Copies of this chain bind each other. A is one copy, B any other.
Amino acid sequence: MTPIQPLSEAAFALTLALFLLAPLAIAGVALINAGLGRSRSAAQSLLGSLAILAVAAIVFALAGATFVGTAGAAGHAFQVAGKSWSWLGAGPWLLGGLGAASPQAQLELLFEFLAVALAAILPWGSGADRCRLIAGCALAALFAAFVFPLTAHWIWGGGWLAQLGVNFQLGAGFLDGGGAATVNVLGGLGALALVWIAGPRRGKFPKEGLSTALPGHNAVYVLFGCLLALVGWLAWNLAGAIVFLHAPLGALPGTAVNTLLSAAAAVLATFAVTQIRFGKPDASLCANGWMAGLVASSACAGLVTPLAAIFTGLVAGIVTPLLVELFELALSIDDPSGAIAVHGAGGLWGLLAAGLFAPQSGQLVAQLLGIATLLGLVLPLLYLLLWLLNRVLPFRVDPDGERIGMDLHELGGGAYPEFVIHRDESYR
């Protein structure tokens, strides 16, 4: 375990300010999700994001916060091979003692509130245009009560992945300053499980012929959301560097520059890839590439050089549009927001890049062990839990609801009642 530096008052104050900016990541993602969906589902998409944020916050306060724990605090551990493996935190219930906790623990808790909400909003974007509000809320409760606390304890809360450094001299243990794993990979894998279970939108993969393009209904929301997300991700990465990587203030400008460079390299790479692939750059995929660059930076911005950050972004920007196409065409996965590629794969790549470029010896092995855990343990767990949940609370609306749109079906009214919308042949 990295020895925890006492936080200066200025670092504490800065992290509080960063906490306030982090919801802009949520606002940006919520706007991107709405813009990438259909106009007939826009209000339901955004109301779902608000509700998911709300459910996640309440359930995390009442239950999940207890299980995350903080490095050095008591936890549930077992002994294997003479080492202690902590698998679940054991904090106070109902946020008891929040005011008396150490500044470090207070700030960890603050960011976990937003982390679990953002993680739960990611699958919601992938289930757009067909999943019910109640499904989003139930998934948020599941994330906040159990899945996120478990993962976050392992990684952020002094659990066994964080202990890989102390226990096995694997670098500084599994490192994830900005939530690449705890937020983005978790959300991306949740998205994968959700769309596997819920299936594609009606008309997306017709019996004969190619898949139907269902372009997002508002590119301005999507691209403007990317700019807001930049602010949110910068806040997240800087705060994570302070709280989870114990970085001194003087290291933060470098973290900020790396975050920006990773997103910049990624969007330009996607621009080039889609230009080559389709003859024109694709605005939605460029937005996906930009976001993947931000996501990848969440693992490594605090650990690497600017050139490595540019390289990380370039790879994220090249891989993302190819993965989106692969998922859609080869695997018949219908992911309107692209969260599986952007947040799932982008996060995994960032975690790997952190291992490749971080100076500590053994860090790459620690990162690979963490990635294996996410894919081999967390993904099956998520699939199982969501499969069970879907039996109790079916995720999907009935076909008629999907045809008229989620807004009319679930809310009784559309997002844009005064605007004339094109009649949609694909749903006839």
Contact = CB atoms under 8 A, between A and B. Distances in A.
Tell me the interface secondary structure of chain A in the complex: helix
B13 A13 contact: yes
Given A57-B260, A234-B20, A268-B58, A220 B46 contact: yes
B231 A410 contact: no
Interface stretch (A71-79, A161-169, A199-207, A245-253): A245-253
B215 A253 contact: no
19 contacts: A10-B12, A12-B250, A13-B13, A16-B256, A20-B238, A20-B256, A34-B220, A47-B219, A47-B283, A50-B226, A51-B267, A54-B264, A98-B306, A113-B260, A218-B220, A219-B416, A279-B412, A418-B424, A420-B422
Interface string A260-292: 110111011001000000111111001100100
A133 interface: yes
A290 to B, nearest CB: 6
A110 B16 contact: no
Given A27-B227, A50-B227, A227-B26, A58 B310 contact: yes
A61 B224 contact: no
Given A10-B9, A110-B256, A263-B54, A61 B283 contact: no
A220 B415 contact: yes
A238 B421 CA distance: 43
A172 interface: no
Interface residues on A, range: 35 or more
Nearest to A26: B227
A98 B106 CA distance: 30
Interface stretch (A35-43, A181-189, A327-335): A35-43
Nearest to A228: B27
Interface in A12-46: 12-14, 16-21, 23-24, 26-27, 30-31, 34, 38-39, 42-44, 46
B253 A16 contact: yes
A307 interface: yes
B249 A16 contact: yes
A27 to B, nearest CB: 4
Interface string A295-316: 0000000000011001000000
Contacts of A219: 42-43, 46-47, 407, 414-416
Contact of A268 (B54, B253, B420): B54
A190 B260 CA distance: 24
A53 interface: yes
A386 interface: no
Q: Which of A224, A265, A267 has most chain B Cβ within 10 Å?
A: A224
A362 interface: no
A411 B199 CA distance: 29
Report which residue of A9, A257, A271 has the largest number of chain B beta carbons within 10 angstroms of its beta carbon. Answer: A257
